[in-house]
A and B are shown apart, each in its own frame.
Chain A
Amino acid sequence: MPIKVENLTKEFNGRKVLNNISFEVATGEILSIVGFSGSGKSTVLKILSGLLEKDSGNITIDEGDIAMVFQYSALFDSLNVFDNISFALQERKEYKHKYTKMQLKEIVAKSLATVGLSGIEDKFPYELSGGMQKRVSLARAIVTKPAFILYDEPTAGLDPVASTVIEDYILRLRDETKATSIVVTHQMSTITRCSDKVIMLYDGNIVFRGTPEELCKGETPYTKQFITASTQGPMKIAASGLI
């Protein structure tokens, strides 16, 4: 398995955010991690991408670049779209001086075309809409041809149409790059349209694992509560640290 997580545990200030969770993702597969806010979904991504240290557990990831698409795009606001997308190619040790300016322009143009945003190289992030920023951050993520793409709530804050566009690009990128992907989301459309497998986190534990179809059936108390968005059920918002 290209991504194998075993007994992963993480604590913040004495509170176990992840409690011995284990899962696997196969090559080219899209795994969705769902759950309430504060249930530890983004923490999993940050540990996998190396932004956070795990407390215990084993993580095995095959050779290859890991790219991450952030919840609020996280574009560098002092750089234009061209510099944002080519940032890794210009600054990373292994790519530095590898490409000429012309080659960089071609790579960036190709990357932007993949997300349907040709010709905006000179614009700055503040000149773009939320949906466009998301697509630029997708373009930035794929520029190094990653083997793994991690999406942290890619459709958060977007209108339904823009969300559908982002979901289409997630599928398209998987098909074009053959990248293994993990999507953290709590949007049902993203789960049903994009995922091959789903795991649900609650209070640091995996309370459901299966396919999107199985999730939608709502056969367990957790999945039932999640899909009906009910306040009645085993999952208490207080337990996930929201109140």
Chain B
Amino acid sequence: MEKVRFFLEQTITYKILTLFLSHVKDFLEIFGTISYRFFQVLKYLCTLQINYKQVIEQSSRFAVDSLPITLSIVIMTSVILSMQISPELVKQGGKDFIGLLIALTMVREIGVIMSGFAIISMIGSSQASELATMKVTEQIDAMKSLKVSPFKYLFLPRVIAGVITMPFVVVIASACGIIAGGLTSMAAGKDVTWLCYVTSVWQGLYIRDINIMLFKSACIGGAISLISSSCGYEAKGGAKGVGNATTKAVVLSFVAIVIIDCIFAIAFYI
């Protein structure tokens, strides 16, 4: 029996299966931990134990600090998209659809997703490393020993800031993206005028899409803060632990954005 077991353990299928199962276990553990943190945050939110000073501070970090990089990424993506599609659509006689296409992609996908990615790299990573440093230097233990809940003081303001601020960032970024796309299409595609572009944009924009964009960006903002804070809070060890927590926060936040986007696409566009 022992020999059979030893033989089985040496097979590639067994090793792949073991690796896969360990990843599934890790994922379920992380999902469980983040869900637990979410309910902790919800508990303090429902009892209105909100530190408004912290919310304002975190919101200003979320919006002001991330805006330049978010705008750069969304505008550049829009410019590239417009440069690629405008000449082709003009050639095919579809110049009246350039604005529609840019507006739809901005509002439904690129505005939210690219802003999310920019915010993860700017704010999510900083939140994770900040909490991880606090954890490894016993500042979080000190907070607990002073009978102040880290969920109330650290998590809740960050999550609220993410939920409130992210839609504003996305609206500004998407609007700038649409404008940049228009200017690029006028330069790249012959016969495309500003009026023609704007008319096409209005044809493609629906209130429903904007509402979904706002809701989706609020969910993504909250998820980035919750995941980043959770990963930071779980940090162990010294500098390496801080680095690992930050990496984990960035990777998980990226995955979460894609999953949330997928859920919204299925829920609202199928």
Q: Real complex partners, A and B?
A: yes
Q: Which residue of A50, A74, A93 contacts B138 across the interface (Cβ within 8 Å)?
A: A74
Contact B145 A76 (CB under 8 A): no
CA distance in complex: A78, B61 (Å): 14
Contact A92 B137 (CB under 8 A): no
Residues on A with C-beta less than 8 A from B145 are: 49-51, 66-68
Min C-beta distance of B242 to chain A, whole Å: 14
Residues on A with C-beta less than 8 A from B137 are: 72, 74, 77
Q: Which residue of A66, A70, A92 contacts B142 across the interface (Cβ within 8 Å)?
A: A70
Contact B138 A70 (CB under 8 A): yes
Residues on B with C-beta less than 8 A from A49 are: 145
Residues on B with C-beta less than 8 A from A88 are: 146-148
CA distance in complex: A92, B134 (Å): 19
Q: Which residue of A70, A77, A87 contacts B148 across the interface (Cβ within 8 Å)?
A: A87
Residues on B with C-beta less than 8 A from A77 are: 137, 139
Min C-beta distance of B31 to chain A, whole Å: 23
Is A91 an interface position by the 8 A CB rule? yes
CA distance in complex: A49, B143 (Å): 12
The tally of residues in B whose CB lies under 8 Å from a CB in A reads: 17
Min C-beta distance of A76 to chain B, whole Å: 6
The tally of residues in A whose CB lies under 8 Å from a CB in B reads: 24
Is B49 an interface position by the 8 A CB rule? yes
Q: Given A91-B51, A91-B153, does the pair A71, B148 have CB atoms closer than 8 Å?
A: no
* Closest chain A residue to B130, Cβ basis: A78
Is B141 an interface position by the 8 A CB rule? yes
Interface on chain A toward B: helix, strand, loop, or mixed SS? loop
Min C-beta distance of A74 to chain B, whole Å: 4
Is B144 an interface position by the 8 A CB rule? yes
CA distance in complex: A13, B139 (Å): 24
- Interface contacts (Cβ under 8 Å), in number, total 52
Min C-beta distance of B144 to chain A, whole Å: 6
* Closest chain B residue to A79, Cβ basis: B139
Within 8 A of B (CB), among A19-78: 46, 49-51, 65-68, 70-72, 74-78
Within 8 A of A (CB), among B137-196: 137-139, 141-148, 152-153
Contact A87 B146 (CB under 8 A): yes
Min C-beta distance of B207 to chain A, whole Å: 41
Residues on A with C-beta less than 8 A from B152 are: 91
* Closest chain B residue to A52, Cβ basis: B141
Residues on A with C-beta less than 8 A from B130 are: 78
Min C-beta distance of B143 to chain A, whole Å: 8
* Closest chain A residue to B142, Cβ basis: A74
Min C-beta distance of B36 to chain A, whole Å: 16
Residues on B with C-beta less than 8 A from A91 are: 51, 146, 148, 152-153
Within 8 A of A (CB), among B101-157: 130, 134, 137-139, 141-148, 152-153
Most chain A CB neighbours (cut-off 10 Å) among B51, B146, B148: B146
Min C-beta distance of A125 to chain B, whole Å: 10
Min C-beta distance of A123 to chain B, whole Å: 17
Min C-beta distance of A239 to chain B, whole Å: 23
Contact A92 B146 (CB under 8 A): yes
Q: Given A91-B51, A92-B148, does the pair A68, B139 have CB atoms closer than 8 Å?
A: no
Residues on A with C-beta less than 8 A from B139 are: 74-77
Min C-beta distance of A139 to chain B, whole Å: 13
- What 6 A-B pairs have minimum CB-CB distances, sorted nearest first? A74-B142, A74-B138, A68-B145, A88-B146, A91-B148, A70-B138
21 contacts between A and B (CB under 8 A): A46-B141, A50-B144, A51-B144, A68-B141, A70-B141, A72-B137, A72-B138, A74-B141, A75-B142, A76-B134, A76-B139, A76-B143, A77-B137, A77-B139, A78-B130, A87-B148, A91-B51, A91-B146, A92-B147, A92-B148, A144-B146
Task: Apart from A66-B145, A74-B139, list 4 A-B contacts with CB within 8 A.
Answer: A50-B144, A74-B137, A74-B138, A87-B146
